Amino acid sequence: MGAPGMTTTILNTMEMLKPRQLKPDSMETERIITVLDETIAKLEMSSLIPRIITSLDRFANMLGPEITENLMEHQKLSNKMENLLSSLEEGDTVRAQEQQVCLRLLEQQLKCSVRNVLRLLPNNPLLCHTLKYGGWERGEPAQVFINAFREFRTFILERLLTSPVEEEEKIQFMDDISLRIKKNTETITALQAELAAAIQTREEEIHKKDNVIKDLKTSMQDLTKDYKADIQQIKQEGEKQQEAELQASQARCAVLEQDIEGLGAQLKALVLEHRASEVALRKRKCRLEMEIVNWMQKYDADMGEKQ
């Protein structure tokens, strides 16, 4: 459970950032939002004009002659605009200027055509309902623009419903949050650096232990090879000696074999000892990693409560 101060901070944060409701007596705000909503509705309708034009047969029963005529005129202007844009010439200055004049004229005509279509569409409620709830897909650029305008509408509403004092408090609050985030980030960076240094130190220690074990194994192998060579030489010399010296040679071999067994036992004990040390080090490393993960999770949980 968090501290009472932390709970109060979280509640203040939620209160500061939650959306405000439209006030009944804010007539100017209502008018501005109404204009923005009407603009969004017109944007949605205008973005579907190309879909209507390509489906005139489908809407033949609900489209009147006036709307149909305006849509066809809009289609002609759109085709002219596309042809003009595809035939723009950059080399001929005079020709380019004439094309720019035609382009501006077509832009004005297209704007007027869109306004005429949008003026006529509200007179056909059935068509408007079909367009609004018919699941028509808009082009990606148009949808992106409409979404951006909706965000603009939300932003304007928030600004209109926020007093200067509330705005100043919110700015100060966000500055405080940014400062806390900066401090927490610096703390995390320092902890990560400390963690990396600790891991590096542990890895170096383990590497040193591995090198020691490797050297010991090499030394034991060399000793074993040397003793085997000595035994072979003794056996060869014993074969050359007289029969009287055979028993003495066999006794020496027995003594040497006992020495080899003792050294082998020592080697086995050393290997087991170093293996146990290695296992302990690896367990300690795993335990440290788990503690680090737990600390990070605890830190994330604390940060979640703070936020």
| pLDDT (average), residues 182-207 | 89
Q: Does position 19 have pLDDT exceeding 50, yes or no?
A: no
Q: How many CA atoms lie within 13 A of 185 on its CB side?
A: 6
Q: What angle do CA 176, 178, 179 make, to 5 degrees?
A: 65
Every domain of the chain and the residues it spans? 24-161
Taking only the tens place, the pLDDT of each residue in 226-264 is 878 878 877 777 677 677 677 777 888 888 888 888 888
**CA–CA distance, 198 with 231 (Å, rounded to integer):** 50
Q: Work out the widest C-alpha separation in the chain, in whole angstroms.
A: 136
Average pLDDT over every residue of 84-89: 72
Q: Token pair for residue 305?
A: 């409560």
In this structure, what token pair is assigned to residue 181?
């985030």
Out of 47-61, 106-120, 249-263, the most confident range is 249-263
Please tell me the pTM assigned to this model: 0.40
Give residue 38's region: left, alpha or beta (phi > 0; psi -120 to 50).
alpha
